[in-house]
Amino acid sequence: MGAHVHTVLKQLPVSDQKLEKIRIASQNDDQVQTLIQVIRNGWPRMRQDCPKSVVEYWNHRDELSFENGLIFKGQKIIIPRSERFDMIKAVHDNSHQGCNQATRRASDIMFWPGMSNQILEYVQACSLCEKYRPSNAKEPLFSHEVPQRPWQNVSCDIFAFDNKQYLITVCAFSRFFEIDLLPNTKSNTVIRKLKVHFSRFGIPEQLKSDNGPQFTSEPFSNFARDWHFTHVTSSPHHQSSNGLSEIYVKLAKRILQKAKDANCDPYLPLLEHRNSPLPAIGYSPSQLLQGRRLRSILPATHEQLSPKPINAKKARENMQKQQTRSKFYYDRSTQSLPSLQSGENITFQKTPGEKWEPG
């Protein structure tokens, strides 16, 4: 046991003077003295016969020993209550390691029941660590309800490609999308483009966008009020909450880029996309939105191009299954965050990756 003591003492992040202080604190700690007596006399056969002050050590009883005025769990020194706070400070304050690193460092050399939780509370309360801690992990995916019918819910976004600005407008049910070249990104310009689509396909019940100035302006609020649709904006700096338009911005850019590289008309690949059945749905965007296939340069019979009713219920069920499957795979790399309580002190990041600030 003497070799064990020597090894542990060399690893402890404290001076010999501090170690002597731990010995003295152990002598003055009633719990430690009771524990020493139990170790020397032998543990009772039943847990209920164990002194209440040391019952928290019951599950570790076979690893506990006493030597040179100190109690050890294996090779780890047991810290009396009066010295625990100072030991947590010694482990954390010199290096400001995160919760996991500080816990691993402490668990390597010392022990007391509940030590990990106390280290966690201390590190989480450290203002310096809070300021520079990493951004929160991704939270589980929150799936929007699948619309009941085409063009009921629509998402839009503005994106840049080849030094030009475009507006994309996507139907959440059919995935049919429109791309508009914008001469500028003023609210009135965006409103004018949306009015064209609304006059063609109807006014949606809900339009979702980001918090761009075009969408948060007074003219756009008046547009939503006068045309009787609900305008919903995504959370700032969280584009994924307007995920539908983000997905189709990437698709639109891919179509435009390939057409540019191939020196061809981008409207033909856009037409073919609208005619291509969606995975796991069984219908194309044009069938879901208009109930018909669109004539393209590919051969198609009169029967194939004739309007036909779709099984909207079956299509919606397939969409929900696809949504559930996507959520399952997405959530495997996410972590739920605790809910905030009214009046609770918080910190926030203006943008992901920046320092945390008190809020």
DSSP secondary structure string, 260-302?
Answer: HHHT--THHHHHHHHHSPPTTT-S-HHHHHHSSPPP-SS---H
Least confident of 68-77, 302-311, 320-329: 320-329
On average, the pLDDT of the chain sits at 85
- What letter would DSSP give residue 307? -
Segment 98-122 mean pLDDT: 88
Weakest-pLDDT range from 47-61, 104-118, 206-220, 319-333: 319-333
Tally the residues of the chain.
359
pLDDT the model gives residue 5: 46
209 DSSP β-pair partners: 233
pLDDT of residue 3: 42
Q: Per-residue pLDDT for 127 more than 70? A: yes
Answer whether residue 325 shows pLDDT above 90.
no
Question: Range with the lowest mean pLDDT among 170-184, 214-228, 323-337?
Answer: 323-337
Sequence-distant (6+) residues with CB within 8 A of 235 are 241
Q: What is the pLDDT of residue 20?
A: 84
| Rounded Cα distance, 268 and 156, in Å | 22
Give, for 77, the enclosing helix (H) or strand (E): strand 76-78
DSSP state letter for 347:
E
pLDDT surpasses 80 at 141: no
Segment 158-173 mean pLDDT: 95
Please report, as a single letter, which amino acid is at residue 356: W
| 277 has a pLDDT exceeding 80 | yes
- Average pLDDT of span 310-327: 79
What is the DSSP track for 164-207?
EEEEEEEETTT--EEEEEES---HHHHHHHHHHHHHHH---SEE
pLDDT at position 354 is 65
**What whole-number distance in Å separates Cα of residue 120 and Cα of residue 104?**
11
The residues facing 64 across adjacent strands are: 73
Lowest mean pLDDT among 30-34, 47-51, 226-230, 237-241: 237-241
| 237 Rama sector, left if φ>0, alpha if ψ -120 to 50, beta otherwise | left
29 neighbors 54 (Cβ within 8 angstroms): no
For residue 147, the Cα-to-chain-centroid distance in whole angstroms is 25
Q: Is the pLDDT of residue 181 over 90?
A: yes
Pairing assessment for the beta strands 164-171 and 153-161 based on DSSP bridges: antiparallel
Residues forming beta bridges with residue 232, ordered by sequence position: 208
Give CA separation, 44 vs 29, 36, 52, 61, 165, in Å: 22, 14, 12, 10, 78
| Confidence tier at 99 by pLDDT (50, 70, 90) | confident
Beta bridge partners of 156: 169
Q: CA-CA distances (angstroms) from residue 347 to 125, 192, 285?
A: 11, 41, 43
DSSP 211: S
- CA-wise closest residue to 194 among 170, 160, 159, 176: 170
Q: pLDDT band for position 1 (50/70/90)?
A: very low
The Cα–Cα gap between 323 and 279 comes to 12
